[in-house]
Chain A
């Protein structure tokens, strides 16, 4: 079952601009994770934010989590051509330690 929904489905920006992607989910969660996938390749973990955290940073990435609104955002600052990829949010539901529920992803294109 799919829980996460990313918004927008696709985003195209100029290199150097900031990119913001949003994720909404439906049920209570233990944590929310963001992954990146370059075209047709394996997924790479970016950030895990736990339900009791509100914000987390990793390099040029900033993730926020609002459990009252059941939403998260991923901000990539000073975007680069290498950031071109699909970005997925995945939630770890409160009632299962063994499953991740995935959204359909946001396709990000960085124009040089």
Chain B
């Protein structure tokens, strides 16, 4: 089954404790992206990747890191999480860029930073 998976689905952590949210897709998609969703704000893009080893900042990259060492995986790293990073996070992938192609979304990761 074609899908985007994220882990963990729920995470409660404390300020400053490094964490990684994993994202994997099995559709051989070139493009992957991370979003955060906050009430009343829609989705805001954090980072995206056009291919292996090619990443770029979205609208809200501060406090986040990403890497794309393999085509199927695109982990999101919070090196020193802060309470303002409490949010619902989505990973997405597509054959081509988000601006031209249907996005396939993961189920989301609900992160709480205390």
Task: Name the residue on B nearest A48 (C-beta).
Answer: B102
Question: By the criterion CB–CB under 8 Å, are B100 and A1 in contact?
Answer: no
Question: By the criterion CB–CB under 8 Å, are A99 and B107 in contact?
Answer: no
Question: By the criterion CB–CB under 8 Å, are A99 and B99 in contact?
Answer: yes
Enumerate chain A residues within 8 angstroms of B45, measured Cβ to Cβ.
99-100
Asked whether any CB of chain A lies closer than 8 Å to the CB of B52, the reply is no
Question: By the criterion CB–CB under 8 Å, are B50 and A98 in contact?
Answer: yes
Which residue of B43, B58, B96, B99 contacts A88 across the interface (Cβ within 8 Å)? B43
Question: By the criterion CB–CB under 8 Å, are A99 and B58 in contact?
Answer: yes
Question: By the criterion CB–CB under 8 Å, are B99 and A42 in contact?
Answer: no
| Distance between A30 CB and nearest chain B CB, rounded to angstroms | 6
Chain A contributes a number of interface residues (CB within 8 A of B) equal to: 27
User: Which of B43, B103, B110 neighbours the largest number of chain A CB atoms within 10 Å of its CB?
Assistant: B43
A89-112 contacts to B (CB < 8 Å) = 90, 92-93, 96-100, 102-105
Question: By the criterion CB–CB under 8 Å, are B106 and A98 in contact?
Answer: no
Asked whether any CB of chain B lies closer than 8 Å to the CB of A18, the reply is no
Question: By the criterion CB–CB under 8 Å, are A33 and B107 in contact?
Answer: no
Question: By the criterion CB–CB under 8 Å, are A93 and B88 in contact?
Answer: no
Chain B contributes a number of interface residues (CB within 8 A of A) equal to: 30
B85-114 contacts to A (CB < 8 Å) = 88, 90, 92, 96-108, 110
Question: By the criterion CB–CB under 8 Å, are B43 and A102 in contact?
Answer: yes
Enumerate chain A residues within 8 angstroms of B48, measured Cβ to Cβ.
98-99
B1-34 contacts to A (CB < 8 Å) = 4, 31
Task: Name the residue on A nearest B92 (C-beta).
Answer: A43
CA distance A31 to B94 in the complex (A): 15
Question: By the criterion CB–CB under 8 Å, are A30 and B99 in contact?
Answer: yes
Given A45-B103, A88-B42, A99-B48, verify A1-B108 contact (CB < 8 Å): no
Given A45-B104, A98-B50, A98-B56, verify A104-B99 contact (CB < 8 Å): no
Asked whether any CB of chain B lies closer than 8 Å to the CB of A81, the reply is no
Question: By the criterion CB–CB under 8 Å, are B98 and A100 in contact?
Answer: yes
Question: By the criterion CB–CB under 8 Å, are A42 and B90 in contact?
Answer: yes
6 nearest A-B residue pairs (beta carbon): A92-B99, A97-B97, A102-B42, A98-B97, A42-B105, A100-B98
